Chain A
Amino acid sequence: MAVQKPVVDGDWELLRIRLESLGAELRTIESLEEIRGRRAIWDTRLADLAIDLGLIAAGVWDAEVGLSIAEFAIGETGSVVLAAGPESARLGSLAPPLNVVFVRRLVATLEDAFALGMPAATTVIVTGPSRTADIEGILVRGVHGPGAVWVVREP
């Protein structure tokens, strides 16, 4: 059997650049003041933060913001990896117009991500905002999923 290459950590600056070119953003936790008081749906592990930000609990279809926790992010592609589980609704990262994603670990490449192992639960690798170019090849963001994606580095 081939020797497994060690998983390489990613570069946060590259992640920032990639996210920007996708129309997403790397955000600081302080900047979340902008969503204070909004109708939101969150991963239950983020309950304290939701209270701090005065978020109003909403259903999947009514929330303005969805707050998610990523397993890890991928620098090369500007992606976040989200796994389904009892803590978070799958549609919570899809239906609201803004998805805020908390990330602690960053790997370098897509190959590193698969070498590290994709979660066993249903998983989605999200690379930027929902988009289409169906009408005359013109890029439009937010067609069905969120038009805005903010990635927040967890301390």
Chain B
Amino acid sequence: MSVPKVEAFARALRGEVVTSVRTASAAKVASRVSTLGEAFDDIESARTEAARIKDEVLDRLRDLLLEFEARATARRIQVHWASDAAEANRVVLEICRRVAEPGAIVAKAKSMATEEIGLNSALEGAGFRPIETDLGEYVVQIDGDHPSHIVTPIIHKNRVDVARSFVREGLGPYTEDPAELTMQARAKLRDVFRQASVGVSGANFLIAETGRIVLVENEGNNRFSTTAPRVHIAVAGIEKLLPSERELPLFLKLLAGSATGQRLTTYVHLISGPREANDPDGPEEVHVIFLDNGRTRVLEGRYREILRCIRCGACLNVCPVYRQVSGHAYRHVYSGPIGAVLAPALEGIDAIGDLAKASTLCGACEEVCPVKIPIPRMLLELRDEAARAGLGKRDIPWKRFATLAGSELLWRAGLTLLPIARKLPSALGREWAQKREMPMREGRSFREWWRERS
């Protein structure tokens, strides 16, 4: 198997991008260590405990999903089931068509699940106006770009890039002051929150015992998007469950410390359902859409532990490959070490990125992962699978790849075409599916059950 030259790609990146990604990553790595060190007597045992709880969730997933559905429904939260991206988008559109006028604004809170299903283009195609309200995601959207990090989406841009975009969009006079730029975005997005008919978010945790939706964030756009519009829709992967709120302190501290080096994220929102009769505000409807989109298949296979992921981004920050090439090189909504495994795990081995093969397997990602996902082992297995499927024999067109990922427009076009391209070697995919062993705890029954649900 040929090992691609990551350097070729790195050279094609703008110098400033490389510098800003490196600096920001290094800072995050440093603050993570000090915060987690203070938060836990023993980080090791905290990580082990978190991994154990997540494994328990995966083992008991069906029961926990049913428990959540029952509790949430009792709270007047409407629960939907979507087996793939198209189904999830359809549910969102049905709700939007029922409650909002054509052309209505949909306030989007930062969410990887909605990136995964391509919700924005579905909404736009149906005549709605989705607007990203997280500062970084907003910049990505107005630039027609793509997030390059799962926590800090514009890590590849500097203040001059943002300033130019804001002038172009008429947000205010040219300034390179990050505080002033932030205030320009604040003013613009306030109007979005006031006008939006529907707010769409992801979910960080869903609590089976209480039926509550837990969202964490620093900016406040998530609170606005889930509070001001008449309807709130949360799109969540089925692995986001936790048995009870007793597990939350551990996970909230691990997530905040690992993601941004904070003791706790600024806002931890525990959503209990729509507004009560006498409440002065809050949404009239709250929906949860459970998204499978390949997850039940992952649950049955050898990459099961990847479903422990809490999307903290720590593995990206420490990864020498990510730091050198930045997130766009992974050509998938999930970038970095987590993306290198999650993309092919969810979508099939033909979605394996060149960077899964390029990983140095230094082990840094596993060392920082708050839920101890054995990413290096999985990358090795993926390489092996790719080689067996004949994918490794293909030469990686590094030069074309570098140009593609280096240009925002081309990158976007590539991403749009990717799902179609992935469907092509279907024989390969089938072969791969047959080869996998099934060390399932809930076994096939979970999948059958899921199919019946959705």
Contact = CB atoms under 8 A, between A and B. Distances in A.
Interface of A: 18, 60-61, 76-79, 84-86, 88-91, 94-95, 109-111, 113-114, 118, 120-138, 140, 142-146
A143 B278 contact: no
A125 B228 CA distance: 18
B154 A135 contact: yes
B78 interface: no
B27 A137 contact: yes
B153 interface: yes
Nearest to A142: B186
B296 interface: no
15 contacts: A61-B190, A77-B263, A79-B264, A84-B272, A86-B280, A90-B280, A91-B228, A94-B224, A126-B267, A130-B266, A135-B159, A136-B158, A138-B178, A143-B182, A145-B267
Given A61-B190, A91-B281, A124-B269, 9 more contacts: A85-B276, A90-B282, A91-B227, A109-B249, A126-B267, A132-B136, A136-B20, A136-B24, A136-B158
Contacts of B135: 132, 134-135, 143
Given A134-B135, A143-B186, A110 B249 contact: yes
B318 to A, nearest CB: 16
Contacts of B24: 136-137
A148 to B, nearest CB: 13
Most buried by A among B190, B273, B279, B282: B279
B439 interface: no
Given A90-B227, A135-B181, A61 B281 contact: no
Contacts of B158: 135-136
Contact of A123 (B28, B221, B228, B272): B272
B196 to A, nearest CB: 13
Contact of B189 (A18, A134, A144, A146): A144
Contact of A118 (B154, B245, B260, B282): B245
**Contact size range, B:** 35 or more
Interface in B251-307: 252-253, 260, 262-273, 275-276, 278-282
Q: Which 4 A-B pairs have the closest CB atoms?
A: A145-B220, A144-B220, A86-B278, A134-B136
Contacts of A146: 220
Contact of B223 (A110, A124, A128): A124
A60 B281 contact: yes
**Which of B183, B190, B260, B281 has the largest number of chain A CB atoms within 10 A?**
B281
Contacts of A76: 263
Contact of B159 (A121, A124, A130, A136): A136
A104 B275 CA distance: 26
B106 interface: no
B23 interface: yes
A144 B271 CA distance: 19
B185 interface: yes
A90 B267 CA distance: 13
B297 to A, nearest CB: 34
B219 interface: yes
Contacts of A61: 190, 194
B213 to A, nearest CB: 9
Interface in B174-224: 178-179, 181-183, 185-186, 189-190, 193-194, 218-221, 223-224
